[in-house]
Structure 1
Amino acid sequence: MDTDTGFLDPAQENAAAARSAEEAARAALAGTGAYLMPPADVLTCLGADASSWAHFAAHWQDLSEDAYAARLGTRRLRRYGHFSLSPATGELRLLPHSAFVQPDNTNPLYETVDRHFDPLTGAFVADPVLRRILGLLGRLVGALEVAEWWSVRVHPFRVLATAQGAGEPTPEGMHRDGVTLVSSLLVGRDNATGGESTVCSPDGDDILSATLCEPASLLVSDDRGTLHGVSPVRPVDAALPARRDVLVTTLTPG
């Protein structure tokens, strides 16, 4: 604080705004089980500006084809990485690359399949924005559960659609991931309609529905007591493809 004027300096103001945004998200998670954090709040929490966000979003140009989704008629690009995160110290460790295994009784399409995806690139792993996102999620999940280490699974996705076929962000429909916290961060979308995200109770009661349209919109939900899914994506201009880029991250006690 400026002792002469009594006003907070810009750095202190940003820190206070970030704390307020995180407190609102934590309260909603502990209450209703879902929260949509506005882009301005997300960028404040990340300390990201237009340049650092553009650098982060550029990693979506370097994803690989998802052969498993292709078998169901959806063109989806992705990579996959697994980290451990200490909530006490903020230490983040990249774990050895392995197959992605869906827990039992969660995703009916893939729970018996060990899926193999290309690993995250070194540039993506080292990106400061990614590391701040994981730190933010590590603070938010503390509203739901306490853990010495969090198992953090990171999935950058690009879903493409044409006039001949809709893109299915969640071909399995409404589902659980078998984790504590699941999050979806919109990185970008172009020429796309649809893609509404829904979080509901196990009985089907709607908790939150929203279409993530503005980059840096962050949807978080308590996966222990909710289901989530995303409606199909279609092109606005049928002559051009539609694109939806998201970062899906899950946290469960390690």
Structure 2
Amino acid sequence: MSKPSTEFETCLRQLAQDGHCLLPAATLLPLLQAQGSLADWPAFAQSWEAMPLDTYMADRGRYRRRRHGVFRAQADGSIQRLPAQPHYQSVDYNPLNGGIERWFAPMGENLEQGTLGCVLRLALSGFGSLRPAARSWFVEAHQFRIEAQAGTPGLPTPEGVHRDGVDYVLVLLIRRHNIESGVTSIHAPDGRSLGSFTLREPGDCCLIDDARVFHGVTAVHAQQPGEPAFRDVLVLTFKRER
């Protein structure tokens, strides 16, 4: 597994110190290109279109669409896609939608051979450098589209400020269209604010130490009523297996 670049090392030091760090697109995209070609980025972003609704929303919301994929990432840099399986969170971590197995539509075939693979490898190199004893990681990849309607906001984190019950989280903005807000906030376990930021440009990214801090995202609102309004993100969660 390759050594993180200087820019990435700076972010990782902040992650280790503060429990979170921000990588703007201008910094992240060259890091991803060092992992492989991003030629499929337009097709990758297009894969957020026509995603099915998340039908497990306990608040009866119809503002979230998603797909899901599962991977095993090894310390030697290898990444293997695993057969489809349900996403599960206990109610301790997700009091709104937790406690049940949630089966989501799978990500497209071979999606990890392009941009997604670059993101997975970069995340593995970074998180692996912070946990050098880790030999294997269980990785879940989530494609989310949060939609806002006229007079009805979309909730990126309907469960509120929370943890995901993993070791690390990567959130990558794919696209924002006709929305305002969507501010990410980071909190200490006692509720103290540790900072906030807004992912605005495609490729803006944040890394979160889920074992140390909580995070949440404010509701998004349509700027022009009657026009499509949405926030597309890729979320990767890394949980150490051994």
Check whether TM > 0.5. yes
Q: Describe the superposition over 1:182-228 as per-residue Cα deviations: whole angstroms up to 9, x where unpaired.
A: 11100001000011111111112222311111010011110001101
Which one-letter code corresponds to 2:40 in the other structure? S
Whether the aligned pair in 1 keeps the contact of 2:187 and 2:214 (CA below 8 Å) is: yes
Give how far 1:70 is off: 7.6
> Distance in 2 between the 1:245 and 1:55 partners?
14
Matched, 1:59 2:47: yes
Task: Decide which of 85, 94, 106 is 1:107's aligned counterpart.
Answer: 94
Instruction: Structure 1: state its 5+ residue gaps.
Output: 1-14
> Distance in 2 between the 1:206 and 1:65 partners?
32
Displaced runs of 4 or more, over 3 A:
48-52
Aligned to 2:26: 40
Aligned to 2:182: 195
Aligned residues: 237
Q: Secondary structure at the match of 1:199?
A: strand
Q: Secondary structure at the match of 2:57?
A: helix
Identity %: 35
Aligned CA distance change for structure 1 residues 164 and 189 (closer, same or farther; 3 Å): same
Task: Decide which of 85, 109, 125 is 2:112's aligned counterpart.
Answer: 125
Instruction: Structure 2: state its 5+ residue gaps.
Output: none
Larger radius of gyration: 1
Aligned to 2:8: 22
The equivalences for 1:122-201 within 5 A come to 122-126=109-113, 128-145=114-131, 146-201=133-188
Q: Secondary structure at the match of 1:228?
A: strand
Aligned CA distance change for structure 1 residues 55 and 70 (closer, same or farther; 3 Å): farther
Matched, 1:236 2:228: no
> Distance in 2 between the 1:61 and 1:206 partners?
34
Q: TM-score, normalised to structure 2's length? A: 0.91
Give the number of the structure whose residues are more often helix, by fraction. 1
Q: TM-score, normalised to structure 1's length? A: 0.87
